[in-house]
C-alpha cells in the first residue's frame, strides 16, 4: 500500500545564528490535497518550504518526501525532478527580458522536457492560465498577476507530483488572486496534484484541505480551516454606526476583539450562539447608534488575532475622531499623464486629497498607481497635466515637496545593515531635522510607531510588522504634511496591520496629515475616507467606500453565499448558466445578483445538470472586494481582453 503522505516532517528545527526560524515543527501533507501555511513574514514558512524542497539544510528533526528521508543535498537531489518550487516574490523564477513563451521553453529545457510533449503541455498550461494571447510579451511588461501565473506555468511544465508555492499572491491584486486560486483548485480537482502553499492572506485559507497557522517558527494551530475557526467558540457581530471610533472607545475590550471596517465595527463576541452574541452587542451599544447589525462565523483571521493578542499589548494612542475634517487641499492631481514610449501608464488622472483625509488609490497590478505617486513626489516627470503637493508645484518645486512629504515605497527601503536607532538618526539628518530637536523628535516617532526597546536591533532582522513601523517612523521624522504609502502592509500579519492602521488614524485625525495609501488588502480599503479605483491608467471610480458599495448594489445587485458539495464544479456550472460573478468564498460559493426572489429557483436550475444543490442561501453585506472585483472584471470583459 502506497503511503498517502507526500511530505512528513517531525520536530523540525532550524536556526540562523542565534535566531530560531523553526522550533520543533510537525507537518504532514497528504497526496492530492492543498496544504496551506499561513502566517506573517518571519513566521518560518519559507524556511520550512526550502527544507522540504531540498535546497536548505536543517539542524534537527526529520523530513521525508515521497517516503524518502531527506538528510542532505545528495539525498534530496533524486526527488527534485518530482517537485516544483516557486519562490517568494513577483516573477522571481522568471527572466524579465524573455517573452512568456521563451521563459516556458527555457525552463522546460532545464527540466529535460522532450520536444515531443512540450508543445501540447505548454499550450494546455497557457490556456489554463489565460496567457495564450500574450505569448510574445516580455516578462518585464507583465502585471504582477500575469507574472505569478507564468511562474506557475514554469513550475508545472515538467509535470511534478508536488509543487511548493511560497506566498504566490502577496502583492497581487484581488482579481488576479481570485484567478490564481481558481487555477490551483482546478489542478487539485482534475489532476490530484499535491500543493504546499504559503500565504499572508488569511481569507485564502478556504482553499486548503488543511491549514497550519505559523508564528515565530512554531505551528500555533493546524487542521481543517472551518474547524479551526469554529474552535474559537465565537460569533462575529458587525454593526454599522455613525461614529465607529466612539463606539469602539465605549466598548473597550468588554465584548471581545474589535476591528473597524469603514462605517462598520466588527466585534468577535465569545459566544457561539449568534442570537445571544447579537443580544450582547445590542445591550452594550445604544440602539440609536446601531444602523444595521449582521452576524457571521469567525474566520482564521479572528483566530489568529485571538491567539496572537495574548502576548501583544494594545497601542496607547490618543483618542481620534471618526470623520475626516474638511481641511485644505494637500494633494491635487489635474489630468496627470505619463507615457513610456508608446505605452500610456497614466491617462488624465485627476483627484484631490485634503488634510486629515485617508485617501485610497486602488487598482490591479499595472494600473498606474505607483507611477502616479512617483510623479506627485517628484521622482519622475509627468508627460502631461499638473499636480500640487503640500502647496508646491510638483514639476517646479520637487526639492521643496520632498521636505514636506513622507514616502513609504512598496519595498522595505531603509538600510537593513543599520540598527533601528542608526536608521532613525540617518533619516533625521537627511531631512535636516535641527540637531537641538532631533533627539526629541526621534523619541516622538518611536513612541507613536511603538518601536521602543529595539534601538540596537539590526533592521534586517526585524519581523515585517516592526520593519514597516520603523519605515513609517523614518518617513515621519521631519513631521511631513503629506504621507504617501505604497502597499505599506504587504506581507504583514493581521495584528501588525491593525496596529499600523491605528497609527494612520492618529496621524490623520489628530495631526491632520494627508494620507495617500495604495493597498491590495480590501479590508484596508474599507477604512479609507475616499477611494479612487484605477484601471489601465485611468480613474474608473471615485467616491467614498459607502457610495461605491451603494452604486454596486444599484448596478449589479447584492452578494449572496450558499453551501454546496464540489464547490469548483458548482462555480463552473453557474458561470456557464450566466452567473458571471460566481466564485469560491469561505467554505461556500459567493455571487452577486439583483433578484433575490427568483434566485433560489435559478440556482437550482443552473446546478441541476451538475447534480448539485445549493443550501443555506443567505444575503451578505457588500464589501470593497466585491466593488473591486466586479468593476475590474466588467472592464476586462468590455475591453474584450482575456483576464491577465
Dump pLDDT digits (tens) for 58-97. 999 999 999 999 988 889 899 989 999 998 877 778 899 9
Task: Give the SS3 label for residue 15.
Answer: strand
pLDDT of residue 539 exceeding 50: yes
| Architecture (CATH level 2) of domain 5-228 | 3-Layer(aba) Sandwich (3.40)
In the predicted structure, residue 25 carries a pLDDT above the cut 70: yes
Q: What is the mean pLDDT of the segment spanning 415-444?
A: 92
Average pLDDT, stretch 635-643?
A: 69
pLDDT in tens, 242-279: 888 888 888 887 888 888 877 788 899 989 999 999 99
Note the CATH architecture for domain 547-638. 2-Layer Sandwich (3.30)
Tell me where in the chain the CATH 3.40.50.300 domain(s) lie. Answer: 5-228, 329-543
One CATH from 3.30.70.260, 3.40.50.1000, 3.40.50.170, 2.70.98.60 for 233-297: 3.30.70.260
- Per the prediction, the chain carries an average pLDDT of 87
Q: Which residue, among 291, 287, 232, 303, has the nearest Cα to 265 in the 3D structure?
A: 291
Number of Cα atoms under 13 Å in the Cβ half of residue 175: 25
Say what the pLDDT of residue 309 is.
53
| pLDDT tens track for 273-288 | 999 999 999 999 998 8
> Could you count the other beta carbons within 10 Å of the beta carbon of residue 146?
26
- The per-residue pLDDT for range 313-327, each reduced to its tens digit, is 444 444 444 555 567
Architecture of domain 329-543: 3-Layer(aba) Sandwich (3.40)
Q: Are 369 and 171 in contact (CB under 8 A)?
A: no
**Burial 87-110, CB ≥16 within 10 A → b, else e:** bbebbebbeeebbbbebbbebbee
Q: What percent of the chain has pLDDT over 90?
A: 49
Q: Which three cell numbers stand for residue 81?
A: 525532478
Distance of alpha carbon 459 from alpha carbon 400, whole angstroms: 29
As to burial, measured by CB atoms within 10 angstroms (0-12 exposed, 13-18 middle, 19+ buried), residue 111 is middle
Distance CA 66, CA 307 (A): 33
Contact 344, 535 (CB under 8 A): no
**Strand pairing of 358-363 and 530-535?**
parallel
| Residue 543 bridge partners (DSSP) | 531
How many other CB atoms are there within 10 angstroms of residue 326's CB atom?
Answer: 9
Q: Per-residue DSSP letters for 265-332?
A: EEEEES-S-HHHHHHHHHHHS-GGGEEEEEEE---HHHHHHHHHGGG-PPP------SSPP---EEEE
What is the model's pLDDT at position 185? Answer: 86
**CA separation for the pair 366, 142 (Å, rounded):** 8
Q: Are 352 and 331 in contact (CB under 8 A)?
A: yes
Cβ count within 10 A of residue 3 = 11
Q: What is the pLDDT of residue 49?
A: 94
User: Region 490-501: what's the mean pLDDT?
Assistant: 79
Q: DSSP assignment of 425-494, as one string?
A: HHHHHHTT--HHHHHHHHHHHHHHTT-TT-TTSBGGGS-HHHHHHHHHHHHHTT--SEEEEESTTTT--H
Strand ranges, E, within 453-606 = 482-486, 514-518, 530-535, 538-543, 558-563, 583-585, 588-593
What stretches of 66-179 adopt beta strand conformation (E)?
A: 68-69, 83-86, 162-165
**31 three-state secondary structure:** coil
Q: Where is 230: in which H helix or E strand?
A: helix 225-230
The helix or strand, by DSSP H or E, that contains position 343, with its residue range, turns out to be strand 343-354
Which residues in the chain are classed under CATH 3.30.70.260? Answer: 233-297
Amino acid at each position: 500500500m502506497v503511503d498517502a503522505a507526500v511530505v512528513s516532517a517531525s520536530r523540525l528545527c532550524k536556526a540562523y545564528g542565534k535566531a530560531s526560524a523553526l522550533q520543533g515543527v510537525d507537518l504532514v501533507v497528504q497526496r492530492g490535497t492543498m496544504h496551506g501555511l499561513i502566517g506573517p513574514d518571519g513566521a518560518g514558512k519559507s524556511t520550512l518550504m526550502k527544507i522540504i524542497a531540498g535546497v536548505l539544510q536543517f539542524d534537527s528533526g526529520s523530513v521525508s518526501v515521497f517516503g524518502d528521508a531527506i538528510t542532505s543535498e545528495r539525498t534530496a537531489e533524486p526527488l527534485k525532478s518530482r517537485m516544483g518550487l516557486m519562490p517568494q516574490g513577483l516573477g522571481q523564477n522568471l527572466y524579465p527580458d524573455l517573452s512568456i513563451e521563451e521563459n516556458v521553453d527555457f525552463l522546460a529545457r532545464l527540466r529535460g522536457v522532450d520536444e515531443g510533449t512540450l508543445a501540447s503541455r505548454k499550450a494546455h498550461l497557457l490556456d489554463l492560465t489565460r496567457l495564450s494571447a500574450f505569448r510574445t510579451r516580455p516578462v518585464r511588461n507583465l502585471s504582477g498577476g500575469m507574472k505569478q501565473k507564468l511562474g506557475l506555468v514554469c513550475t508545472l511544465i515538467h509535470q511534478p507530483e508536488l509543487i511548493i508555492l511560497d506566498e504566490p499572491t502577496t502583492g497581487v491584486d484581488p482579481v488576479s488572486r481570485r484567478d490564481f486560486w481558481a487555477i490551483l483548485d482546478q489542478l487539485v480537482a482534475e489532476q490530484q496534484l499535491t500543493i504546499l502553499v504559503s500565504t499572508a492572506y488569511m481569507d485564502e485559507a478556504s482553499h486548503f484541505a488543511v491549514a497550519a497557522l505559523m508564528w515565530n517558527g512554531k505551528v500555533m494551530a493546524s487542521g481543517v480551516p472551518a474547524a479551526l475557526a469554529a474552535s474559537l467558540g465565537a460569533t462575529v457581530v458587525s454593526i454599522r454606526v455613525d461614529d465607529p471610533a466612539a463606539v469602539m472607545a465605549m466598548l473597550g475590550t468588554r465584548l471581545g476583539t474589535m476591528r473597524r471596517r469603514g462605517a462598520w465595527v466588527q466585534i468577535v463576541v465569545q459566544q457561539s450562539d449568534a442570537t445571544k452574541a447579537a443580544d450582547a452587542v445590542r445591550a452594550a451599544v445604544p440602539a440609536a447608534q446601531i444602523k444595521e447589525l449582521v452576524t457571521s462565523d469567525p474566520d482564521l483571521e479572528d483566530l489568529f488575532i485571538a491567539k496572537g493578542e495574548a502576548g501583544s499589548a494594545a497601542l496607547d494612542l490618543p483618542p481620534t475622531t471618526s470623520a475626516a475634517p474638511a481641511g485644505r487641499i494637500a494633494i491635487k492631481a489635474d489630468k496627470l499623464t505619463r507615457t513610456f514610449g508608446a505605452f500610456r501608464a497614466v491617462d488624465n488622472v485627476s483627484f484631490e486629497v485634503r488634510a486629515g483625509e485617508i485617501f485610497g488609490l486602488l487598482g490591479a497590478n499595472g494600473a498606474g498607481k505607483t507611477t502616479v505617486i512617483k510623479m506627485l513626489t517628484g521622482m519622475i516627470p509627468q508627460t502631461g497635466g499638473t499636480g500640487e503637493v503640500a502647496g508646491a508645484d510638483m514639476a517646479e518645486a520637487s526639492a521643496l515637496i520632498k521636505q514636506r512629504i513622507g514616502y513609504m515605497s512598496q519595498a522595505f527601503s531603509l538600510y537593513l545593515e543599520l540598527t533601528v536607532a542608526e536608521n532613525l538618526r540617518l533619516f533625521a539628518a537627511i531631512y535636516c531635522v535641527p540637531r537641538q530637536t532631533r533627539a526629541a523628535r526621534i523619541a516622538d516617532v518611536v513612541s507613536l510607531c511603538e518601536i521602543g526597546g529595539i534601538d540596537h536591533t539590526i533592521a534586517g532582522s526585524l519581523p515585517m510588522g516592526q520593519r514597516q513601523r520603523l519605515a513609517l517612523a523614518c518617513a515621519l521624522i521631519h513631521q511631513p504634511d503629506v504621507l504617501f504609502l505604497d502597499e505599506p502592509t504587504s506581507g504583514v500579519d493581521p495584528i501588525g496591520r491593525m496596529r499600523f492602521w491605528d497609527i494612520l488614524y492618529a496621524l490623520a485625525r489628530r495631526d491632520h496629515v494627508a494620507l495617500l495609501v495604495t493597498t491590495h488588502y480590501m479590508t484596508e480599503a474599507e477604512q479609507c475616507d475616499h477611494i479612487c479605483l484605477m484601471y489601465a491608467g485611468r480613474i474608473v471610480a471615485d467616491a467614498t467606500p459607502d457610495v461605491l458599495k451603494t452604486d454596486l448594489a444599484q448596478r449589479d445587485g447584492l452578494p449572496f453565499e450558499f453551501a454546496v458539495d464540489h464547490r469548483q464544479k458548482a462555480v463552473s456550472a453557474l458561470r456557464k448558466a450566466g452567473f458571471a460573478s460566481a466564485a469560491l468564498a469561505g467554505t461556500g460559493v459567493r455571487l452577486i445578483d439583483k433578484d433575490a426572489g427568483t434566485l433560489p429557483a435559478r440556482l437550482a436550475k443552473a446546478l441541476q445538470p451538475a447534480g448539485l444543490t445549493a443550501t443555506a442561501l443567505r444575503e451578505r453585506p457588500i464589501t470593497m472586494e466585491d466593488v473591486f472585483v466586479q468593476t475590474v472584471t466588467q472592464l476586462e470583459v468590455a475591453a474584450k481582453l482575456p483576464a491577465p
